[in-house]
Amino acid sequence: MASSGSGYDLSSSTFSPDGRIFQIEYAAKAVENAGTALGLRCRDGVVLAVEKPLQNKMLVAATTGRRIHTVDEYAGVAMTGFVSDGRQIVNRAREEAGSYEETYGTKIPPTTLAARLSTYVHYFTLHGALRPFGASTLVAAYDPATKKHSLHMVEPSGVSYEYFGAAAGRGRQSARTEMEKLPTNPKTAGGAEGGEENLITVAEGVKQLAKIIHTLHDEAKDKPFELEMSWLSEGTGWRHAGVPRATIAEAVAWAKKEIEEAEEESEDDEMEE
The conformation of residue 209, written as its DSSP 8-state character, comes to H
Site of interaction with other proteins (CB under 8 A) = 62-63, 66, 68-73, 94, 98, 102, 228, 230, 241-245
Least gap, CB of 65 to other proteins (angstroms): 11
For residue 90, give Cα distances in angstroms to 98, 138, 154, 177, 211.
12, 10, 12, 28, 27
Question: Which lies closer to other proteins via its Cβ, residue 190 or residue 237?
Answer: 237
Question: Which lies closer to other proteins via its Cβ, residue 80 or residue 184?
Answer: 80
For residue 49, give Cα distances in angstroms to 64, 88, 239.
16, 20, 16
For residue 39, give Cα distances in angstroms to 162, 231, 240.
11, 10, 13
Question: Which lies closer to other proteins via its Cβ, residue 249 or residue 262?
Answer: 249
Least gap, CB of 5 to other proteins (angstroms): 39
Least gap, CB of 15 to other proteins (angstroms): 38
Least gap, CB of 63 to other proteins (angstroms): 6
The answer to whether 154 and 139 are in contact (CB under 8 A) is yes
Question: Which lies closer to other proteins via its Cβ, residue 94 or residue 131?
Answer: 94
Instruction: Indicate the Cα dihedral angle 232, 89, 170, 6, nearest 10°.
Output: 160
